[in-house]
Amino acid sequence: MPKTNYRLTKIVFTLGPATESEQALEKLIVAGVDICRFNMAHANHTWTRAMIRRVREVCRKTGRHIAILMDVKGPEIRTGDLAEPVELTTGQLIDLLPQPGAAETNILAVTVNYPHFGSDVPVGSTVLVDSGLIHLEVVSAAPDRVRCRVIVPARLSSRRHINLPGVKVRLPALSAKDHADVALGVEEQVDFFALSFVREAGDVKVLRNLLAEKSSTARIIAKIEDQSGIANLDEIIGAADAIMVARGDLGIEVPMEDLPLLQKRMVDACIQNRKPVIVATHLLESMIVSPVPTRAEVSDIAGAVWSTADAIMLSGETTTGRFPLECVQLMKRVSGRIEGSMTQGYNSALPLKTNKDRLLRSAVLLAQELGDAGIVVFTRTGLLPETLSALRAWRCPLYAFTDVPQTFLHMLLLWGVEPFLMDFKAEPEETIKDAMAYLVRRGWVKSGDWMVVITNALAAEENVIDAIQMRPVS
């Protein structure tokens, strides 16, 4: 891929019936997706295992490798089963029962799967059902029964999701299903786990401990979906490896007009803390059925790219949508157009904690002064590319070489970083030459281009020092 087509913003797509065939997967991988997401809210283990292996087989076939992300469903509050859907009306009373009980005459009663519902939901609070389509107000609350008045009606069917804006709920970080899903993901060596409805740092630690017990090196992406997650954002960012701005449920939990501000706050906070951030949900919702997006959706993608979010994500667009390839191609075009319009610069507000951080900043400035030169960095942990990525340097391609497969796949989420998996030689100079030759061979650079190489050098008395080299491509 020529440097002129270098894309900074990564693309995550969700696998589903529309994209599960080998032919569809090959088209998406060749088109440039970076991460494949499995939504375990809608996937069984047999299908998931087969599809993970299919994705990797298609990667081997195409010679382009992408990472695997398993999105675990998390515990959630839902209504129970109904014999048939019910049309609610404005002003109607409805009882929500934390445990099955006798319904009162002329009042609809529906069970909920949260035993603390009657204790946690105060009178006057809002209950949102089915992605906010149904709006209820609590008029009375008891341990065995919460009576609500319908404010905004719609059709209520079985097992609809419930949101409780502003209510601190007592749910575990992982359900029994999540434990089983994580075990499958560890067995299949997925690269990322996304944890739903993260409310506090302790939720992340629960999954972190579980992965440690299973000797998994997978990274944890915390999904921010409610007001508790927003209130504890800083500590969650500190505990997680990455953040997902999950705008679906979050847009139900907070006032709509606050959502853009919260998205910007989360993206900015993640960059300053050197944690990748994904903007997700409804980016191209209309293209589930339409071959062209709305103009507002194009602007939404552009806004995420301008904010320098690490990745943008497709959900229903690529699971059941009619135009999954077109969605990916459009994301690439919009990202490329916006990125190409940006002038040279970098994130000068990033806190530089160490002298090595300052060296990396110097490498960025040197590469930009040389005139769109790239930076070559070698890593086994991914820490140096994470800092280079957080510096958000425009017109400064970051080529990160590693000999650790897991690190290679984890770096696929980093803004502006193009990772490569390559064996390292015992002699650093040979490794540098191999990297430069690789970039030329694959068309990333050409003879005469300048590269800034970040490496270690052996000084007197066998002391290893960090060094920046300025080298032309031969």
CA Rg, the chain, in Å?
A: 24
Reply yes or no on whether 37 is catalytic.
Answer: yes
**Helix (H) / strand (E) containing 340:** helix 324-341
In the numeric block, the tokens 């919702």 are attached to 285
Classify burial at 173, counting beta carbons within 10 Å of its beta carbon; exposed 0-12, middle 13-18, buried 19 or more: buried
Catalytic residue among 145, 208, 223, 274: 223
Q: How far apart are the C-alpha atoms of 136 and 58, rounded to whole Å?
A: 48
Reply yes or no on whether 223 is catalytic.
Answer: yes
As given in the structure block, the two tokens for residue 11 are: 């693309």
Q: How far apart are the C-alpha atoms of 265 and 152, rounded to whole Å?
A: 30
Q: Which residues contact 95 (CB under 8 A, 6 or more apart)?
A: 103, 104, 107, 108, 109, 110, 145, 146, 147, 148
Q: 10 Å Cβ neighbour count for 280?
A: 26
Q: Which residues contact 214 (CB under 8 A, 6 or more apart)?
A: 182, 183, 186
Instruction: Check if the beta carbon of residue 305 is closer than 8 Å to that of residue 330.
Output: no
Catalytic residue among 3, 27, 37, 145: 37
Report the chain's terminal Cα–Cα distance, integer Å: 18
Q: How far apart are the C-alpha atoms of 341 and 306, rounded to whole Å?
A: 10
Catalytic residue among 19, 79, 281, 308: 281
Catalytic residue among 56, 64, 78, 332: 78
Q: How far apart are the C-alpha atoms of 282 and 317, rounded to whole Å?
A: 8
**φ, ψ for residue 429, nearest 5 deg:** -60, -35
Where would I find the H helices in 22-110? 22-31, 45-62
Instruction: Check if the beta carbon of residue 77 is closer than 8 Å to that of residue 161.
Output: yes
Strands 145-152 and 134-142: antiparallel
Side-chain-side CA neighbours of residue 422 (13 Å):
23
Partners of 65 in beta bridges: none
Strands 374-378 and 450-458: parallel
Strands 219-224 and 145-152: unpaired
3-state secondary structure of 275: coil
- Catalytic residue set: 37, 78, 223, 281
